[in-house]
Copies of this chain bind each other. A is one copy, B any other.
Amino acid sequence: MIEHDIFRALADSTRRTIFEKLANGSMNASMLRQGMDISQPAMSQHLAVLRAARLVREQKEGRFVNYEVDPDGLALIAQWLAKYRAYWPARIDALKLLLKDMDQ
């Protein structure tokens, strides 16, 4: 189940950090490691988990592998969230923000 993979992938704070980094621009695994105090295999394993969850996708470039955010994963979260829209109170600032951003 992809839904399970997504939430499991995001349950780890290191993977959330990696994802956030990629959201600010595509990077290869070595660049991602910079300033993260994480071994090369650990990074590779985290990226594999994020890939399985479709939160990230790879693009091989020679001996480098460029990683970028995969919109599919985010779309699936949005879909999951949309199921519960009946519970979103209109007052919540986060949602207003959301609305504003999507309006343009």
Q: Which residues of A contact B (CB under 8 A)?
A: 1, 3-4, 7-8, 10-11, 13, 16, 20, 23, 69, 71, 74-79, 81-90, 92, 94-95, 97-99, 101-103
Contacts and interface: CB of A to CB of B under 8 A. Distances in A.
B95 A103 contact: no
Contacts of A95: 75, 78, 82, 102
Q: 6 tightest A-B contacts by CB?
A: A79-B94, A7-B10, A11-B11, A82-B94, A8-B11, A7-B11
A1 B1 CA distance: 26
A84 B7 contact: no
Copies in the complex: 2
Main SS class of interface, A = helix
Contacts of A23: 83-84, 86-87
